[in-house]
Structures are given as C-alpha cells and as structure tokens.
Amino acid sequence: MSADLCFVPAVELDRLIRSGDVSPVEITEAALARIDRLNPALSAYITVTAELARAQAREAEGRARRGERRGPLDGIPYSVKDLEDTAGVRTTYGSKWLESNIPSADGAAAGRLRAAGGILLGKTNTPHFGHKDMSDNLIGPPCRNPWWRDRTSGGSSGGAASAVASGLGPLAHGSDGAGSIRCPASLCGVVGMKPSAGRVPYHPNPDYWAARSHNGPITRTVRDAALMLSALAGPDPRDPMSIDAPPEDYVAVCDGDLRGLRVAWSADLGYLPVDSEVRAITEAAARRFADLGCAVDAPALGWPDMREPHRLIWHVGVAARQQDRAREHPDWFEPSLMRMIVDAGRISAIDYGRALLARAPFYQAVGRFFEDYDLLLTPTMPVAAWSVEPDSAAVIEGHPAPTLLERLTFTFPFNLTGHPAVSVPCGWTRAGLPVGLQIIGRWHADAAVLRAAAGFEAIQPWADRRPSVD
C-alpha cells in the first residue's frame, strides 16, 4: 500500500486529502520510506529534509481537519532542484564551493511551493551550477536512471526526473536553461515542462536579462504538471522578465480537445542527427495526433542553425560566473566545466555579441512558422540515456556526442526564443529505455501545449509503467 501511494498522481492525492481518505502524514511517510530505501542507489536527492517534511505534513493535516487547506497542493510532497535557494535547507548548487550553504530566504519558485502548503522532501541532484546535461558533481555520487542504473538520468534536473520516475515524490521543481527539464524527463520517462519565458519568475537570478533559464514542473502525468504550474506561475516584480498576467487554471485547460489544430512534425529540424530508433518512435507518436483530430504535416522548416551561437552564449555565460572560482580552486572543478571556461576565454567580444544578435532573426523565423501552425512536434532528445559515468559520450548513429552541444539540439532553440515546450513519454527502445516527444507551442501558449500533451496522454498513456527499482 505504501509503494502504491507513492505512485498516486498529485491531482488524486488532492482529492483523497479533501475527502479524508488519506492524510498528508501518511503520504509523506510513504514517500520518505521509499526515499530511504531507494535513494542510496539512485542518488536522486542530495539532501533529504525528513524532519522538516514530517513537521510540514502535521501542519497540513491540521489544516485539512479544520477545512483550511491553502489549495490543491496543500499536504502534497514535492522536491526542489538544488540550484534553487531554499530557506533553512542546505542548497549546494552541486558545488564544493557551496557544499554547506544554507540560504536565509527562498527563491521565487521554492517560496511559492512552500506558500501553497506542499511538503518539502528535499533537494534533488544536479551538476555543478547546472552546467551540463548529466547530474554528477564533486560532492556526491552521480544520479542514476531508474530504468537502467548504469545510465544517466540526464540533467541538469536529473535528480528531479529520477525521483519522480522512481516514486520518490509526485512533484518536482526543475529549471531549464538549454533543455534541463525536458532532457531528464525524456531520459527518465516522465513529463517535463519548460513554460514560456517569464511564466514562472526566476529569482534570485545572476542574469535576469538573458531570459533563457525557466523554472517548471517535472511529474508523472500531464495534469500533475498543470497543477504544479498553477502554483508556480504568475508575476513577481523581483524578476523584471516575469509575465505580468495571472496564471490560468492549467488543470482545467487540459480537458479541451485538439480538433482542427494544425500540427507540424520535424524529425530533425532539417539538419540534426537522430538515432534511428528514437526517430521511428517519435514519428509514430507524432502521427497519432491525427487520431486526435489534428492536421499533421511535415514541412521543411528552413530555420537558421543556432548550434554555434548557442555554444558561444552558453560557454561565455558559464565562464563569466565561474572563472574567478576556477582560478582560486581548480581542483573543485570538473573537466567538463573547466573546458567550458577555457573555451570561453578564446571567444572574442565581437563574436559573443554576434551570437546574441543571432537570437532575433531566429525568433522571427520561429514566429513566422507559428503563423501557419499551432504546434510543433520533435524528438526531445536525439538519443536515449547513455552511460552514467562522468564525461561519457552518447552515440548517435555511430558517432560520439560527447557534450550537451550535441545532445540538447532539439531543446535549447526554445530557450533562445522563450516558447513553451513540454516533453512527454512516447515509447521505449528495444533495450527498455524511455523516449520523449517534445511539444512546442506558440508565444505564451502554455495552455495549448498542456492541452496537447494531455490529449496525447489520453490515447497513449504511460504513467502505469514503472521502472524496476524495488
């Protein structure tokens, strides 16, 4: 019963708490027992906040008994990625520099989840300052994929996705600067949404104006992601790029149908290498949108190739934040992070400026595309999960893909433009590894993306399939 409770969707847990059939304390104890049993093998959590969770669960139970619940998240467990400040809780950023750091205030996302009455289970694993698409660092073991433990969970929200897939909490906060929600969601077989830029405020933020990194939910079901987004979304004056509009009822929008939508499918954006098995699985999933009443087409996109501008922007941004620390304590920096810093030192200011300027024509090209289409479907990742060993390379059709620059090729473009995008499970490889389908929507069309994801989930559900981690 305890294990079953760990896989009950959050929307159902809300109903069970409201009816009095299950208490927040029962839910929390079940989650903590499962974390205690499985986290040593998975390393999904860097820090487990068991005593805090139990205290919050007792408070939530008291509110439920008095009929004073704060909303649908009250009494439901969640986790926070360890790149998000959490008041009174160790927040390491995956870094030796901050191994014992305890913030005095919540970040914007953590604060909203706390205010909603959720139960904080702990801080999930992430690479050093979130610099790559694997979740290993120098302060503890690497996070493992629950489907194959010798494979990576992805990153940089890898701990969040591994936890949700394994039943170590129904809701997980993630952040996404180049694909860091969608990548691990795809590799771990769960739902991961990067909302529109500014939909969820990002504070504190070392560079508000970059508008590339977005906070969002990682969950087992689409409606759970919608439920979490409803709590996270909304303006915050501390983030000048936050959207000055109230959030919608994102759970309610999942109930709409998709008839008449114009949907485009692209297996490779016109130029990207993709594993043949991943291509076949995602294309079959995309074709199912015709069963939902959509007109499905496969147009030539003709968009600019943003891989080189993205490399310059990403590496310079990482180096600007970390170069001084790397000089002071190079032994506290992984080779992957150090390579980025060294590479950034070879990039001229003019080339960096041109890379930033390339975002505008790319955004315009994507905008013109969405004049003719409501949704774009792509693979989320060009390959399924690769080795968990640090600095490992994925292999795409026989060719090594050693860094995120070769692996996050379908995801980072929509960080550059800010369009909403979600990854949903759409199948498994012959080896039993999950594959994700990415659904991208028009400017600020978060509701349409969720409705499309929910429609696909209805005809090709995945949540009952669980990894064999017990």
- The dihedrals phi and psi of 60, each to the nearest 5 degrees, come to -65, -35
Q: What angle do CA 255, 462, 452 make, to 5 degrees?
A: 35
The count of other CB atoms within 10 Å of the CB of residue 23 is 18
Q: How many residues does the chain have?
A: 470
Q: Where are the beta strands (DSSP E) in 14-105?
A: 45-48, 77-81
Q: Does the annotation mark 423 as catalytic?
A: no
The count of other CB atoms within 10 Å of the CB of residue 157 is 39
Query: Given 156, 157, 242, 336, which residue is catalytic?
Result: 156
Both tokens of 21, joined, read: 């059939």
Q: Does the annotation mark 132 as catalytic?
A: no
Q: How far apart are CA 326 and CA 337, in angstroms?
A: 9
**Contact in structure between 381 and 438 (CB atoms under 8 Å):** no
Burial of 181-206, coded b for 16+ CB within 10 Å and e otherwise, reads: bbbbbbbbbbbbbbbbbbbbbbbebe
- Give residue 260's region: left, alpha or beta (phi > 0; psi -120 to 50): left
Closest CA to 453 of 175, 220, 169: 220
Look up residue 418 and give its amino acid: G
CA 284 to chain centre: 24
Q: What angle do CA 378, 185, 220 make, to 5 degrees?
A: 115
Query: Given 23, 43, 79, 81, which residue is catalytic?
Result: 81
Both tokens of 341, joined, read: 């810093």
Q: How far apart are CA 424 and CA 403, in angstroms?
A: 23
Query: Given 175, 180, 196, 230, which residue is catalytic?
Result: 180
**Contact in structure between 145 and 153 (CB atoms under 8 Å):** yes
Closest CA to 387 of 67, 208, 160, 142: 142
DSSP 8-state assignment for residue 292? G
Q: Does the annotation mark 123 as catalytic?
A: no
Catalytic residues: 81, 156, 180
